[in-house]
Structure 1
Amino acid sequence: MNASVKPNITLDELDKIDIRVGTIISVEDIKSSNKLVKLSVDFGDFMRTILVGIKGERENPKEIEGKQALFVVNLAPKKMAGELSEGMLFDIGYADGIVPVLAQPEKTVPNGTRVG
């Protein structure tokens, strides 16, 4: 895992990314995809549907129901497998070729809590 560090960015660029803690309320299979599942995520003041490609990475994708994780909530919505995704789950490991794990707060915090 000797990945190069990406080019420097400014604090203004980083500040554009809205990263929040959300609780994964449900994980639903997307039958038309062999990778994607649909998460319903509670961010306190709002809910989002977020599609993630964990179907092949976990024996039981539903094991993440009820867990808090970090999400990008201001990513432009994208249609995949006939469903609309309204954000992105942060996970750790995929880019390095290991089985990904959730990026989580060390203890429970209110849904919608911002990173930074």
Structure 2
Amino acid sequence: MRNEKQETREKTNSILLSYYNNGKEFVFDSFLVYFYIKQYIMSRQSISFTKPNDEWLKAQVDSKEYSSKSELVNDLIRQARKQQVQIDWIKAKLEKAEHSGFTNDSKESILAQSKSFLNGPI
């Protein structure tokens, strides 16, 4: 005779997931984990693509590079966010340099100083 948990698990085709942390075993039902992630962590959006962009997205998924358009779009957004952090860092450095004033050094002197910072003393 089956218990209620076994019947539910069979109906949802889920499996038990377990991991160890500090010697303790934690067990989760995969369907419940999936449901929690979909319900509380990932928001659902509807977006439209131009035909060339949609075809490119489909080609990436068809080539098995990504498993879905959603995964690909999320990866592109992560890359753009990472790039924005780098751009912001460069902007901050440029603003600091602009506010530091002017120099009377020659182009050659500035170039030599830059090379020494990159390669060590000339």
Q: Rg: which structure is higher?
A: 2
More helix as a share of residues: 2
Decide which structure has greater strand share: 1
Q: 1 or 2 for the larger relative contact order (CA 8 Å, sep ≥6)?
A: 1
